[in-house]
Amino acid sequence: MERRRDGATGDRSLCLRALVLLGTLLTLLLAGAAPASAHAALRASDPEDGSVVKTAPTHITLTFTESVGLLEDSFRIYGPDNRRVHVEEPEHAAGAADTARAALPRDLDEGTYTVAWRVVSADSHPVSGAFTFSVGKPSPTPPAAPADHAEHPVTKSLYDTGRYLAYIAAALLIGTAAFAALCRPPDTGPLRAPLLFGWWTLLVTTAGLLVLRAPYEKGTSPGTALDLSGFPDTLSGRPGMALMTRVLLLLTAAPLVPFLRRRSLRTRTTAGAVLSVSLALTWASAEHASAGIQVPVAMTSSVLHLLAMAAWLGGLTALLLTLHRAQTPPPYATVARFSRLAFTSVTVLVVTGAYQSWRGLGSWSALPDTAYGRTLAVKLAATVFLLLAAALSRRWTALLARPAAAEERVPALVGASGPPPEPRTTHVTQVTTAEPEAVHRRALRRSVLAEVVVAVAVLLVTTVLTGTLPSRAEAEAAKAPEPQVAGLPGAQALTVPYETGTPGGSGTVQLTMDPGRVGENGLQAVVFGPRGALTAVPELRVTFTLPSKDVGPIDARLTDRGGYWATNDLTLPLEGAWTMKLTVRVSEIDQVTVERGVRITR
């Protein structure tokens, strides 16, 4: 009796610590989650876009529709002479999280200034834009500056892939654990592999997302992830904090598994529930639910939606493995318990999904007219197919129950008054009940496999949906002042072939010069090999000469950015017909120089 009391005391202590952990996590992730509109839109600027001020301002201040995170390069300001203006490190104005401010140098020259900005919205997605203002009077020609900080395609692809794998791993980990705890299959051996795979995959992908977070926010190449100087800034933002919290939760949960094996089923279930809710919070606190209308309700709905999705789809995988690989086939009771769990999960998914759809769409017209609405329609269609497959599985489950019920009635007949049944009759009963059960079990395996396949597609569409601007936010952003600068010059694109005369020493270099006019320019170059595939070269050098004015050569000073070469500090001071010399070195001794004319205008 004393031993049981000690065990119960230990269980209560463990449950208390788990609840304290959950409370701490809630405080950490919900702090500062004020109502806002998903994806930040520029609400106002000081000075205003297109305004002419009499005296030079001391600060640039932007106000957004939601709280934003600031980057080291959040402001890029260009003066009337097309040169970049040095500004102080950006900060929030008066502690307001929905503002961004940078101090300007004193005594700015007369003319037009262009401000290009980039911040991170509260739902973790980078947003950017640009506007102009003038001091004294406008310049005859606005300064040349990029209208936007473009996303790096490789970084974005890697980050989106990591997010998709993290969703799958979370569903596998949480759903398998829920199936083992709530459905209680007699043979749990097949469930160890998905549990370990889900845990490791979620840990590795989350760590990868944490490393890629800084390049994703800044729009730079994956190679810049090796620069550890930006890591503290990543951890200071809510998305980085959520990713780090997820890593710590996974690392903390692993050592507790051997200890929990010796505890009661109730204790293990409670600990698993706390961990599952905590993991779900790391998504809800850094995506669409953390910004917009009704934030507390939205975050609660998001957590329930993710847990229901994991319990259903991850549980399906666990059921499929149990049906195929368990040494002891799962009895009807196990399948029936999962059927009830799946029905509850579907109900939660329908309710929370309807709420999130209303919150994201804003109006029925947005369903066919916006990218978010069209993606949501695809998800709804895939979910309908998933529900049809689930209904088929539920039908086979019901048919599987009939032989089980017949077998349960046999002992009652045997124990009744009167002579026992003949052995021959009993043998016939066993055959007639065993054959339909085998048929129904095989059909159940096929229908569950179909559910798993469709579920993977649903998760893929869900990942795309979480990275798409909600229709309600898109409508609100359209009401805000247009952040882009009208009339900003476009980029020049050049394709230059090269040939060194050696095997594998030919290909093309694609160059993009932005804006391709007098003043400061950005230059990006991508090298392709003889078969059109991306290739790495030891050196790529570009110089510019203006023969008519005896100017140059001006070295662009390209640097390897991990897959492409680039610079943001190429200054071409005069207009005219420039000569660009491109030198490609493909080995220690083989290189070639190609010339190409480039027209630079104001």
**What confidence tens digit (pLDDT) does each residue in 538-547 have?**
888 889 888 8
Cα 592 to Cα 574: distance, rounded to the nearest angstrom: 28
DSSP H stretches of helix in 509-569: none
2 touches 258 (CB < 8 A): no
Q: Residue 221 carries which DSSP code?
A: -
Judged by DSSP in three states, 120 sits in strand
**Residue 220 structure tokens:** 């730079």
pLDDT value at residue 489? 41
Judged by DSSP in three states, 282 sits in helix
The number of beta carbons lying within 10 Å of the beta carbon of residue 288 is: 28
pLDDT value at residue 484? 38
Cα 521 to Cα 66: distance, rounded to the nearest angstrom: 32
pLDDT value at residue 410? 39
135 touches 108 (CB < 8 A): yes
Which amino acid makes up residue 437? E
How many CA atoms within 13 Å lie on the side-chain side of 188?
12
Identify the segments of the chain with pLDDT beneath 50: 1-38, 145-149, 405-432, 480-490
pTM of the model: 0.58
Degrees (nearest 5) of the Cα angle 539, 545, 546? 165
Judged by DSSP in three states, 65 sits in coil
Classify residue 163 by burial, with Cβ atoms within 10 Å: 0-12, 13-18, 19+. Answer: buried
Q: Which of 184, 361, 190, 327 is nearest to 268 (CA)?
A: 184
Estimate the share of the chain in helix, then strand, then coil, as percent rounded to the nearest 5: 55, 20, 25
pLDDT value at residue 50? 80
Classify residue 68 by burial, with Cβ atoms within 10 Å: 0-12, 13-18, 19+. Answer: buried
Cα 476 to Cα 359: distance, rounded to the nearest angstrom: 13
pLDDT tens, residue by residue, 379-424: 778 778 777 777 777 677 666 655 554 444 434 333 333 444 444 4
